[in-house]
Amino acid sequence: MKKLSIADIVSKKNREKIVMITAYDALFARLFDEFADMILIGDSLNMSFKGENDTINATVDEMIYHTKAVKNGAKNSFIVTDMPFGSTTNVKQTVKNAIRMYKEASCDAVKIEGGKNISEHIKALCDNGISVVGHIGLMPQKVRLEGGYKIKGRGENGLNALLDDAFAICEAGVFCFVLEGTLSSVAAEISKQVPVPVIGIGSGLHVDGQVLVWSDMLGLFEEFKPKFVKQYLNGATLVKQAVKSYKDEVKNSLFPSENFEYNK
């Protein structure tokens, strides 16, 4: 598959669904590269790779390290790197950190969580020649503040609040954005009203594309399974079965059998 340009991605709006998947290393990025339009080095790596309870203490250095690894494996996908919590506290710092990601990790775009509150940062990034993917709706970096992962778009003002955020980040310059954990009807309306592709996660079908965390969709992350996650593989069970077979064969002196020895 040919690597998409930003213009290609934008042109998919209302035309063809965009496939985004996360990856954190070269091994899996190489496997996903054939199928993904976009690969996201998400700060979710802090949970499924590093084993922390949330995304909060992922660092810029870690995002750069994992992006370099993904880039070694993925040659054709458009690469997006998350700006982690604490890397966007003021505009100057946001630009400085994003420039590091661009230069050291060579990502194609950065992703930044936030709506109206972050639009000035997005504009500054675009003014500095950095392409930006937005992220509104449920924002995992707010998990401690909000006391959990809360679905968005509910209540009288649900749609309008999200539309305000969506329009603000579009005006600031994002070329697409992630809409997470939002009522499907609300997500459909937002997608209809904005000029750029909306990539949903837990936001239903009526958006311009989907993103899933790779370890969730392959059934490897066992800590919890949100309702929106479809497991396309029973990964944890398959891995455990394989490692148990290895253990049993080693314990019973069945591995390595003749086929796996050097005799000459």
Touching ligand KIV, residues 159-198 (CB under 6 A): 178, 180
- Rounded Cα–Cα distance for residues 163 and 47 (Å): 29
Neighbours of 134 (CB within 10 A): 29
- Rounded Cα–Cα distance for residues 257 and 253 (Å): 8
Q: Give the three-state DSSP class for 217.
A: helix
Whose CB is nearest to ligand KIV? 42
Q: Which of 37, 43, 108, 208 binds ligand KIV (CB under 6 A)?
A: 43
Contact 236, 225 (CB under 8 A): no
Query: Using CB under 6 A, which of the segments 6-14, 36-44, 157-165, 228-236 binds ligand KIV?
Result: 36-44
* 118 is an interface residue for ligand KIV by CB under 6 A: no
Query: Using CB under 6 A, which of the segments 3-11, 23-31, 40-48, 90-98 binds ligand KIV?
Result: 40-48
- Rounded Cα–Cα distance for residues 80 and 257 (Å): 45
Q: Which of 201, 217, 218, 220 binds ligand KIV (CB under 6 A)?
A: 201
Q: Which of 62, 146, 180, 258 is catalytic?
A: 180
223 in active site? no
111 annotated as a binding-site residue: yes
- Rounded Cα–Cα distance for residues 200 and 218 (Å): 18
Residue 151 sits at φ, ψ, to 5 deg, of: -65, 140
- Looking at the annotation, which residues are catalytic? 180
Q: Which stretches of the chain bind ligand KIV, using CB under 6 A?
A: 22, 40, 42-44, 82, 178, 180, 201, 211, 213
